[in-house]
Every structure is written in structure tokens, then in C-alpha cells.
Amino acid sequence: MKIYAIRGATTVDGDTEKDIAERSVELIKRILETNRFEQAISLTISTTKDVTASYPAKAVRESGAIDVPLFSCAEPDIKGALPLCIRMMLTVASDSDDVSARHVYLRGAKMLRKDLADESV
């Protein structure tokens, strides 16, 4: 069995529970739709210090989009870093060589990885 890590990031327009929930669920759903694998293992979610209104992990869990252990953490407070950012790293496993590991960068987070950004969102 091979282990893969699939990354993704998005931004919220404001530090509101609604924005955090909507964007977190949008991101995990896009990661799941874009990738092929056999088994999800865990999801790590990080936020910048200005995302405080709610937990993205809570929204993901309540959405039912994925049922894996979730872990939340804070990004380091780096001068000039992208604000209002939610990042995810989904760890998956597969015996198949036909695995896609396409990283997903949405909204303001597109600037983090222009080579991987989804230009439709």
C-alpha cells in the first residue's frame, strides 16, 4: 500500500462562521472530486491566526463529506503571509498505481501555487 498526501488551500472573505464553514466544505469536496484513491486516512487542517470564528474541522465533520480523523492547527504568524487562509492536507492510501494526487488551490489561495490553482473558483 502506498501513502499519498494531497494538499489544498482556500481563503475566506471574512472571519465569520458561515464563510469558514462554506469554504472549508467547498475545499474538501473539491479535493475529493479531483482525486482518485482507495482509502482516506486522515485530514489535517490549518488556519492563519485571523480565522477564529469557528473550526473548519467542525464544518467538514458536520458536512459528512469525509469520515476520517481530523486534526486542526495554527499556521505560524509570518509577516506578509496570505491572510484568512485555510489549508488542508488529506492523507490517503492505495494499492493501485492509478492514483491521482492533484492538489487544489481555490480563491485567494491560488496565489500560493499558481501552477496548481483552479481558475474556475
pLDDT at 100: 72
Please give the Cα distance from 47 to 66 (Å, whole number). Answer: 19
pLDDT at 93: 92
Give pTM, 2 decimals.
0.91
pLDDT at 97: 73
pLDDT at 96: 76
Q: What is the 3-state secondary structure (H, E, C) of the chain?
A: CEEEEEEEEEECCCCCHHHHHHHHHHHHHHHHHHCCCCEEEEEEEEECCCCCCCCHHHHHHHHCCCCCCEEEEECCCCCCCCCCEEEEEEEEEECCCCCCCCCEECHHHHHHCCCCECCCC
* Biggest CA-to-CA distance, the chain: 42
pLDDT at 116: 63
pLDDT at 63: 97
pLDDT at 85: 98
Q: Which stretches in the chain have pLDDT values below 50?
A: none
Domain made up of 2-108: CATH architecture = 2-Layer Sandwich (3.30)
pLDDT at 89: 97
pLDDT at 37: 86
Indicate the domain borders of the chain.
2-108
Please give the Cα distance from 117 to 120 (Å, whole number). Answer: 9
